[in-house]
Structure 1
Amino acid sequence: MATLADVAAQAGCSQATASRALTKSGKVSEKMVRRVVKAAVELGYRAPFGASGTSSRRRAVVGVLIPSITNPVFATSVSVIQNRMLMAGHRVLIALSNYDPAQEADAIATLLVERPAGLILTLCNPGLDLAVSGEMPHVVLMNNRPSERFPAAVAADNHAAGFVMTRHLIEHHHRSILFVSGSFASSDRALQRYAGYRAMMEKAGLQPLEALEVGFGDYDGLDLGEALRIARPTAIIASNDLLALGVIGALRRDGLSVPDDISVAGFDGIAIGRMINPVLTTIEMPDVSIGAAAASLLLDMADNGAAPRHLEIPFSLRAGGTVRRL
């Protein structure tokens, strides 16, 4: 296991400077702090309890990893988690993966430098080997299904959500339905929603269409022209509400009306979907409940020795005005 001396040697500073940088307990330049933290992450170093600046009187740290702070779903969950942890006397550190599996392990390693009492993680793919050095603390997955490595999880059933949304469109007599998604490699939630779409299409005797994958965050400049010409859909399901809004914008730029020309639906139930006209048809995910349940489960495991468990949070369909009956 890496020592403080190893970190100092790799960062090119004294052990005292490395200790001050990691514990934030003295005057150290921001440049040196970044060098020391980078060295600690690369070496898999975690400071021992009782080190300067990490006494037992200091509040325990809980690390939270989310894909993006710009999606209101994750922002709401983080707010709920922080309030719950503050009530329990814990500090909260937040890290972002930016939907990038390569950044994910680095973000977790950075959180581990702080020797957290526990982690709440929303992962791109919980089944992948994160290759993070050192022993992991208590971990609760949020918005992911449990995996062999991380059996504690709080999530809605995204496969069922995709099934229900597709059934809603089929009940409105849509037969050619296109699924537009962020990268499946970066979101198992999107992949599960697409799997639910395929399952319902096949159950109805309809041909599922290949999903159109777009980059996360590239929602405001979507070009659906080629996909529309090839698939000729009467309805589009987007893997989340922000993407659904991007789809609506792209359709309008192409001179198409929603829902008169093409129906659109999403997932998550973010507030802005209720503010547009017509109101967005979506699957409402209980982000407040998911965040609260994840925080409570982690505290139960860390403080009471409770066994890891999987909590499934119910979702609901919100039938808005962006889907019309053919």
Structure 2
Amino acid sequence: MTDLKEVALRAGVSRATAARAFASPDMVRPHTREQVFAAARQLGFRPNRLGRQLRLQTTQLIGVVVPNLLNPVFAEQFQSMEQAARARGYNLLLATTDYQAERESEVVEELLRQRVDGLVLTVTDARSNRVLQSLAQEDTPFVLAYHQPENPEYSAVSVDNRAGMALATRYLLQAGHRRIGMVAGSALQSDRARLRYAGYREAMHAAGLEALPLIEMPAHTQADFATLAPWLHDPQAPSALLCSNDLLAISLINELRRNGWSVPRQLSVMGFDGIALGTQMHPTLCSVVQPIAELAHTLIDQLLAQIAGATPASHCLPCQIRPGESIRPLEETSDDPLA
């Protein structure tokens, strides 16, 4: 079996230089580093990272927990995080929970068995989460993604969910809408959705208008027309609907059109996330945009800082409105929902 000494001999460098090329490539001149790597390829040599990890008490692994990858928000986040982590010499291990609180404990425990150096977590509810309480007691470095935790001991990177949905509500108000409703998953199953509903209510009240009760869908990202229908035929039916996330908004538009309703002519629909898919549909989706790439890079920076000994910190990034064809000014919309 080829060893490091043979690689060094083939590359014409010392064994120490060859070892440094693999362990700390930035500390070796590019030409020399390439000589070592070329020799390793020719000889079929791969360095034993496990031995180095044991010596340094680090695996260079980061555990990432997201609800699922069906929502492009989390897929886009993971891709950007992977690029940022790789540039810093780390790799990611991914686990999904499908919005199940009991599953969170299982996947976090499994990642800890893999000896990850830290965790990036998106959980169902950060306020009373046993997993987070346990991690904090064990001093395991972790950063929350998308959450705005009340506990100052929790590190987090998010957008201001409440302010973002208030911004979306004002956007609809400025377009002339007064009967505005909000659609979310069952019982506001995530703390992000609860904050977004609070932002909607605050903006409506600030405008002197009544906030409608939440329109609850059976699933977090999937609309159901039968649930929505009673609201559409009410004498005070909404002229616009805010959705707690973009996938729910896209699903809602499809359900409406499938059942003979026109968006935005009869009903305006707005999402929250700003996923790229929203720009590729017809009508294009108006949405509150989260800076996903910036958020992902900030998550990695914050976690690595904690791994190095920094105290937990929270970052709240700004969001903005992405205009789209799914919104129409009310004065251009017929008063008759069936017109």
> Which whole-Å CA distance do the structure 2 matches of 1:211 and 1:185 have between them?
9
Deviation at 1:60, TM superposition (A): 2.3
Deviation at 1:235, TM superposition (A): 0.6
Match of 1:210 among 209, 213, 224: 213
Q: Is the 8 A contact 1:62 1:118 kept in 2?
A: yes
Match of 1:310 among 306, 314, 320: 314
Distance change >3 Å, CA 103–CA 210, structure 1 → 2: same
> Which whole-Å CA distance do the structure 2 matches of 1:250 and 1:121 have between them?
32
SS in 1 for 2:92: strand
Q: Is the 8 A contact 1:139 1:150 kept in 2?
A: no
Residue 287 (structure 1) aligned with residue 286 (structure 2): no
Distance change >3 Å, CA 270–CA 178, structure 1 → 2: same
Q: Which moved more, 1:206-215 or 1:158-167?
A: 206-215
Deviation at 1:323, TM superposition (A): 1.0
**Alignment match, 1:320:** 324
Matching residue's letter, 2:146? N
SS in 1 for 2:55: coil
> Which whole-Å CA distance do the structure 2 matches of 1:254 and 1:279 have between them?
19
> Which whole-Å CA distance do the structure 2 matches of 1:220 and 1:194 have between them?
17
Residue 225 (structure 1) aligned with residue 229 (structure 2): yes
Give 1 or 2: higher helix fraction.
2
Matching residue's letter, 2:160? D
Residue 145 (structure 1) aligned with residue 148 (structure 2): yes
Deviation at 1:255, TM superposition (A): 0.9
Normalising to structure 1: TM-score of the pair? 0.79
Residue 269 (structure 1) aligned with residue 263 (structure 2): no
Match of 2:171 among 146, 168, 172: 168
Offset from partner CA, 1:132-174 (integer Å, 9 cap, x none): 5872411111100134274211000010011010011111111
Residue 56 (structure 1) aligned with residue 61 (structure 2): no
> Which whole-Å CA distance do the structure 1 matches of 2:109 and 2:210 have between them?
43
Deviation at 1:67, TM superposition (A): 1.0
> Which whole-Å CA distance do the structure 2 matches of 1:270 and 1:160 have between them?
19
SS in 2 for 1:170: helix
**Alignment match, 2:68:** 68
Q: Is the 8 A contact 1:140 1:150 kept in 2?
A: no
> Which whole-Å CA distance do the structure 2 matches of 1:150 and 1:88 have between them?
25
> Which whole-Å CA distance do the structure 1 matches of 2:220 and 2:193 have between them?
14
Offset from partner CA, 1:263-304 (integer Å, 9 cap, x none): 00001111111112222111111111111100011111112x
Matching residue's letter, 1:116? V
**Alignment match, 1:260:** 265
Q: Which moved more, 1:197-206 or 1:168-177?
A: 168-177
Distance change >3 Å, CA 52–CA 113, structure 1 → 2: farther
Bigger-Rg structure (1/2): 2
Q: Is the 8 A contact 1:101 1:186 kept in 2?
A: no
Q: Is the 8 A contact 2:117 2:141 kept in 1?
A: yes
Paired residues for 1:8-27 under 5 Å: none
Deviation at 1:52, TM superposition (A): 9.2
Distance change >3 Å, CA 308–CA 270, structure 1 → 2: same
Match of 1:249 among 239, 251, 254: 254
> Which whole-Å CA distance do the structure 1 matches of 2:260 and 2:123 have between them?
37
- Aligned identity (percent) is 34
Distance change >3 Å, CA 266–CA 201, structure 1 → 2: same
Residue 159 (structure 1) aligned with residue 162 (structure 2): yes
Q: Is the 8 A contact 2:189 2:220 kept in 1?
A: no
